[in-house]
A and B are shown apart, each in its own frame.
Chain A
Amino acid sequence: MAEPREPVGRGPTGQTYTRIPTVVVQDLHVVYRVHGPARKRGLLRRVATGSASGPGREVHAIRGVTFAAYEGDAIGLIGSNGSGKSTLLRAIAGLIPASSGAIYTRRQPSLLGVNAVLLNDLSGERNVVLGCLAMGMRRAEVTPRVAEIIEFSGINDRGDFASMPMRTYSAGMAARLRFAIAAAKEHDVLLIDEALATGDGKFRRRSAQRVQELRAGAGTVFLVSHDSRAIRESCERTIWLESGVIRMDGPTDEVVDAYEAFIGENS
């Protein structure tokens, strides 16, 4: 990076525009439609009035979020459960449409989450191939790297699990494999959803190192976690979301301290 890396400024004029943005989110709103079980009101009445039976209920998960992320940033996302962190990541990845507002990205961001469902009846090896192909890699690129990815995930540390169906894996093993798959590709923007929290200490060190490598490759990393230690270790900027709005955005230590104080007084 030829350009200097100032810390991210705050306030409308504090933005360090000398840096190259990778993700720009402008006044984003995301609304989920929920087709849940019927509410208490009778089915007949709902059909007759046509009011509540229509598009289902709506959950306004993100309500007006604005920020920009720059090359080489590692941004932590914190907030209580249901504050919209994962939804924000999905929206940035283009997986969930914005109801209003805009998201601009330099290239296709990749989301790596604990929810990244692969095919549970297939072996780990096949899932590695499938996951890499789904990320847009060529089979010729994938084949030589399968062993390396499985090695990184460490699922073979206790016997040959790579050839076993994924439904036999523990939660931690599956999460490690998913991270290994996602980290196999150079991402311009990598969105990590709780993935690092699941591994053991050894895996966490390895993945933290990999996150550093990805950032060095001029990428931007978003990390969602409830584990403030993981955020403090890997991110220098943190965004605190609460009820779908940004409550705080700034240097990690400042924001995480405020968040912890908030959690403390809340409980």
Chain B
Amino acid sequence: MARRADEGSSWRWFGDSGGPGDTPDGPGAHEPTVPLREPPPAWQPTPTRGDVPPQAAPSDATPTHAAPTGDRPLMGQPPASVPSSPGSGGESVPFAPFGQPAPYPPITPPVDSSPSGVWRPDADSAPQETRAESSQPEWSQAELAQAESSQSESAPSGVPEPHPAPNPADAETAMIPRVAYYETAILPKVVDKPEAPPTLLDLAIRYGLKPAGTRPSVREYLGQLWSYREFIAAYANGRAIAQYGNTRLGRLWQVLGPLMNAGVYFLVFGVILDLRRGMDNFVGYLTVGIFIFAYTQQVVQQSAASISGQLGLVRAIQFPRASLPIASVLMQLQTSLIAMVVLGVVVLGTREPMRPDWIWLLPALALQTVFNTGLALGVARLGAEFPDIRQVIPHVMRIWFYASGVFYSVDFILANLPEAVGNVVRANPMLIYIELARYSLLENPPLASTFTELWIMGFLWALVAALFGFLYFWRGEPEYGRG
């Protein structure tokens, strides 16, 4: 309402149109750009205007209007022409739902049913029913805006106070204890208990009711998650079964999937492009990279849909929502543990000896799991708020894949990079977790960082991701049902 500063603007706003004849297509033609128009001369406040109910005639002349100048003279017309019943307003107002105004008129505003400043031309194309639904809130917002502006500005004397959103059900819902202060003062005490509470909220507070759908504290939330651990495990397990529910081989695909993946990359990068040169054990090197990266990739992809894809569940049962992304991590952890066994067999098949160092794979996987959990929580909230993100994720993941030295040694390219860029490349968490696994499983892998550096960075990444991911997700907790 930048126009408020201008004294006459409220006039323009309200009176911006004349009678019903002014807006044959009324609301449909409206644009939020109304205030930008210059008031035509015919538009000066006239004595009769004082009688026009301000909300009676919004709508109208928009840039898209057919003949704006043509109708100007109409604007000065006496208020008699103002539509004052929903019936007459109905013609120019296409949003009247099926027979709705007739059966219970109070629901449509009695004076004006063409909202100002909210209708857009495209609303006409919406199906009748949807339009009816979506139009009403807009109407009341416009109404409120008008009421507000008329109060805050110099409403000309004689203008009836616009009723902000007359509540149709007022009569029936008289039980709403919106008791004004003076009413409580004069209420005879015999009617109710002496301390008749003025509002239901007092009642709620007196009996210790708690507000629904509020966000618990971090500590409470962690406690809730802990008490839902059985659900999280059962849900992860159920999803894992359901995922291959209609395949013949069932969960065998949890093993076959990564194997086939590794086979394809070996074919492309090992055989066709022949990146094997200079590496002792390219098959082992590649397979480790693919399996470790696939863990994070699957987690990200799945958790992006973990809330938005399960809205039915989220809207049906109250449970800590973080259970869902955490369950996706658990489900993928299960898959990747199986994949690690496969990985061990592949690595042995490339004539790597089995060494005590293999045990380092477990803490590396644990760090990656913590990192993935943070990532999953963050992505889950993003996916819930911006469903479009799911379209972007595959591409982001592919870039990350190429940057993480899965099928080439980052060590080789670091030589050609300035040190600052090289540090960024080496700080890539996926590269770190992959190299940790390579260090554990392979005898002489080319590494970009030292073993100690890898552990420190891996730990820090896990910590940072888990902390930020959790806090970010927790902050959105009450909103996930909105969809």
- A: residues with CB less than 8 A from B are 9-15, 17, 20-26, 31-35, 39-41, 51-52, 57-61, 63-64, 66-68, 82, 90-98, 102-106, 108-113, 115-122, 126, 129-131, 133-136, 138-139, 165, 242-243, 245-249, 262, 265-266
Is the CB–CB distance between A13 and B103 below 8 Å?
no
The 8 Å CB contact of A95, one of B197, B235, B238, B314, is: B314
Q: Which residue of A lies closest to B188 (CB)?
A: A13
Q: Does B201 contact A (CB under 8 A)?
A: yes
Given contacts A12-B176, A246-B172, contact A104 B204 (CB under 8 A): yes
Is the CB–CB distance between B212 and A113 below 8 Å?
no
Is the CB–CB distance between A103 and B120 below 8 Å?
no
Is the CB–CB distance between A31 and B137 below 8 Å?
yes
Q: Which residue of B lies closest to A71 (CB)?
A: B207
Chain B residues with Cβ below 8 Å from A26 are: 199-201, 204
Is the CB–CB distance between A96 and B481 below 8 Å?
yes
The 8 Å CB contact of B234, one of A60, A133, A136, is: A133
Interface string of B385-398 (1 = CB under 8 A from A): 00100000000000
Given contacts A17-B196, A17-B197, A33-B483, contact A10 B175 (CB under 8 A): yes
User: Nearest Cβ distance between residue A142 and chain B, in whole angstroms?
Assistant: 9
**Stretch in B122-130, B151-159, B434-442 with 4+ CB within 8 Å of A:** B122-130
Q: Which residue of A lies closest to B316 (CB)?
A: A116
User: Nearest Cβ distance between residue A252 and chain B, in whole angstroms?
Assistant: 15
Is the CB–CB distance between B196 and A13 below 8 Å?
yes
User: Nearest Cβ distance between residue A198 and chain B, in whole angstroms?
Assistant: 15
A-B contact pairs, 7 of them (CB 8 A): A24-B200, A24-B203, A91-B213, A95-B481, A121-B242, A136-B227, A243-B100
Report how far A247 CA is from B483 CA in the complex, Å.
28
Q: Does B219 contact A (CB under 8 A)?
A: no
Q: Does B349 contact A (CB under 8 A)?
A: no
Chain A residues with Cβ below 8 Å from B126 are: 39
Is the CB–CB distance between B315 and A90 below 8 Å?
yes
Chain A residues with Cβ below 8 Å from B245 are: 121-122, 165
Chain A residues with Cβ below 8 Å from B136 are: 60, 63, 243
Q: Which residue of A lies closest to B129 (CB)?
A: A82
Report how far A35 CA is from B200 CA in the complex, Å.
35
The 8 Å CB contact of B174, one of A10, A95, A135, is: A10
Is the CB–CB distance between A39 and B213 below 8 Å?
no
Q: Does B267 contact A (CB under 8 A)?
A: no
Chain A residues with Cβ below 8 Å from B210 are: 104-106
The 8 Å CB contact of A39, one of B125, B167, B316, is: B125
Chain A residues with Cβ below 8 Å from B319 are: 134-136
Given contacts A92-B212, A106-B209, contact A115 B318 (CB under 8 A): no
